[in-house]
Amino acid sequence: MTEASKTASASRGGFPDVRPVEDAPPELGRFVAALHRLQDLTVSTRPDPALWAAAAEHVESAGALLDGHQVSEVEAVAGRVLSLPGLGHPLLPPWTITSAGPDGVTMAGHFTQSHVGGNQAVHGGMIPLLYDWLCGMVVTCAEIRPTRTAYLHVDYRKITPIDEPLTAHGRVSELDGRKAFVTATMTAADGTVLTEANGLMVRLLPHQP
């Protein structure tokens, strides 16, 4: 272990110092977009049973191509690319950070068929996932890191639709020692507030993972 890594480990309690990737391969965006398309089709189609087996073989082949190339959390690319929807992470909704700074973070994007909870409305559990990501970005841009989510409360004001442009904004509303309180909203294109959230992010002590 280098002296620099020893210092980082001592100050961060072993929490990995994961930074954005600037030189991500362009093929990653194509791959993640294909995965999102696959997820949408998985929950919205009813093909001949034989097609499920054929499709499974293709997915298994893709897994076999990538298997054996695993790296550490700080070396992996997916989930760290600010320019890609969902940071290039296949499980995050395809949203993009449009502005970010110490005063707050704004994201724009949409939800798709794979996020439906029923009757073409976004599943209630998908929305806290987006807000947790947003809260993490808010405290990171405010240079409050590393943190863990202590709580996240979401108020559902209206049905959140799929395949429609949405915007979310979050900011630090209060600081109290290691505690960073974050407030956030999600709005439709016409400005209608769909959901609101407030969360508590707690800065880790040096010994906390």
Q: How far apart are CA 109 and CA 6, in angstroms?
A: 39
- pLDDT 10s digits, 68-85: 999 999 999 999 999 999
What mean pLDDT do residues 8-13 have?
A: 52
Tokens of residue 44, six digits: 């919205």
Classify domain 3-203 at the CATH class level. alpha beta
- pLDDT 10s digits, 82-139: 999 999 999 999 999 999 999 999 999 999 999 999 999 999 999 999 999 999 999 9
Q: Are strands 166-176 and 116-118 parallel, antiparallel or unpaired?
A: unpaired
Q: How far apart are CA 133 and CA 201, in angstroms?
A: 12
Question: Which is nearest to 136 in space by CA: 192, 203, 91?
Answer: 203
Domain borders along the chain are: 3-203
How many residues does this entry show for the chain? 209
Give Cα 39 distance to the centre of its chain: 16
- pLDDT 10s digits, 164-197: 999 999 999 999 999 999 999 999 999 999 999 9
Give Cα 205 distance to the centre of its chain: 24
Q: What is the pTM of this model?
A: 0.90
pLDDT of residue 148: 95
